[in-house]
């Protein structure tokens, strides 16, 4: 038996007996727990290792095929998987069960010693990027525009600051997920007359292996080109999922005073919401921006964000619709200065478009 590109230590190095040993340890606490772990591991192995049974699991399968970035993409895909009606395909509890099972197994195998050496080599810190989901049915929140700008400014001055700030800017502009952005290459860009087309090809596709396409401004593209100056000549970003997770956690601790813990996916929510508002509350535009197949998914995105429209009919009835036309320039500027940054951005874009 020969396995190309791997050291000979992987030859016939089956560890199924230790996986069964792990499950027996779980069974000592509860048979229900053991069954849950067994079911969850079976599904993970089936999905990622293509129906491998415990007996034929190798060290290479654990160290390479189940490395942290593979697991991150796998669980990310489970979280956003949808039924035909646009509802979530997997509950948070189901995903958490699979996460807990595989993380616990890898931890057990890492601490297992054979002839004085660890059974597998695996950096357990890498598994921290895979976080448990809330069991309350709550979805990820949209990060406020002003806070997102604070994140960009702060992390631009940190280690790998150029990459961190630009991946956030591109996420907010394109509504691409972390798994998509980390694969983006310069070959995905095509300058056209009124901007720069971003289009997937080859291995860099979206959720469900779907193609994606978007357009960004020349200004943002020119900022992205600075990444070539630091040696990123093929892919735009050299960041890892772990670095993005650490970044978001630091942002939560140092910059975020909302009490809500935002994830990198919160930037996609912001992108979709801003597209919705910037196109006259057009749900179709938001749906295309989000690349959703079902409008119900987009509606869920927008319904879970605070657009400050509660009581708008009452507010409209008690306020003169033309009051902004009658006040002084100073009063108007003062009122505008107190508006949310994203509202001012929409206003500026409207003015810019009307000047054309």
Sequence-distant (≥ 6) Cβ neighbours of residue 301 within 8 angstroms: 142, 269, 272, 273, 286, 290, 292
Q: Which of 26, 316, 300, 6 lies closest to 142, judged by CA?
A: 300
The CATH fold assigned to 145-303 is: hpI Integrase; Chain A (1.10.443)
- SS3 at position 66: coil
In this predicted model, what pLDDT tens digit does every residue of 237-253 receive, in sequence order? 999 988 998 999 999 99
Extract the tokens encoding 30.
């509860």
Report how far residue 26's alpha carbon sits from residue 19's, in angstroms, rounded to the nearest whole number.
11
Top pLDDT among 82 and 152 is at 152
pLDDT tens across 63-105, in order?
Answer: 999 999 999 989 988 988 887 777 788 888 899 999 999 999 9
At 191, give phi and psi (nearest 5°).
-65, 135
- Mean predicted confidence (pLDDT) in 341-355: 78
Q: How far is CA 243 from CA 125, 206, 338, in A?
A: 11, 21, 35
pTM of full prediction above 0.75: no
Residue 251 phi/psi, 5-degree rounding, is -60, -40
Specify burial of residue 229 (Cβ count, 10 A radius: 0-12, 13-18, 19+). exposed
């Amino acid at each position: 038996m020969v396995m190309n590109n791997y050291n000979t230590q992987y030859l016939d190095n089956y560890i199924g007996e230790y996986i069964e040993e792990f499950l027996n340890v779980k069974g000592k606490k509860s048979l229900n727990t053991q069954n849950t772990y067994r079911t969850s591991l079976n599904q993970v192995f089936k999905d990622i290792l293509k129906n491998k049974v415990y007996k034929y699991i190798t060290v290479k399968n654990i160290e390479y095929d189940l490395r942290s970035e593979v697991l991150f993409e796998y669980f990310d895909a489970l979280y956003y998987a949808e039924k035909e009606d646009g509802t979530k395909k997997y509950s948070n509890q189901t995903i958490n069960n699979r996460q807990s099972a595989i993380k616990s197994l890898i931890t057990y195998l890492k601490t297992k010693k054979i002839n004085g050496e660890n059974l597998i080599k695996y950096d357990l810190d890498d598994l921290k990027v895979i976080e448990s989901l809330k069991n309350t049915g709550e979805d990820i929140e949209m990060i406020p525009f002003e806070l997102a700008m604070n994140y960009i400014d702060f992390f631009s001055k940190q280690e790998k600051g150029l990459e961190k700030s630009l991946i956030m800017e591109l996420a907010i502009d394109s509504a691409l997920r972390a798994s998509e952005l980390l694969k983006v290459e310069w070959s995905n860009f095509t300058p056209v007359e009124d901007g720069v087309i971003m289009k997937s090809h080859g291995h860099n596709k979206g959720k469900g292996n779907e193609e994606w396409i978007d357009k960004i401004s020349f200004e943002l593209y020119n900022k992205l080109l600075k990444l070539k100056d630091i040696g990123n000549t093929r892919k735009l970003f050299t960041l890892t999922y772990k670095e993005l997770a650490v970044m978001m956690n630091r942002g939560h601790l140092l910059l975020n005073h909302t009490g809500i813990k935002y994830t990198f996916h919160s930037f996609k929510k912001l992108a979709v919401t801003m597209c919705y508002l910037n196109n006259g509350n057009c749900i179709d535009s938001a749906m295309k921006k989000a690349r959703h197949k079902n409008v119900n998914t987009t509606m869920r995105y927008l319904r879970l964000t605070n657009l400050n429209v509660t009581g708008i009919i009452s507010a409209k009835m008690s306020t003169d619709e033309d009051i902004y036309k009658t006040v002084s320039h100073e009063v108007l500027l003062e009122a505008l200065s107190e508006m949310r940054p994203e509202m001012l951005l929409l206003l500026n874009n409207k003015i810019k478009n009307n000047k054309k």
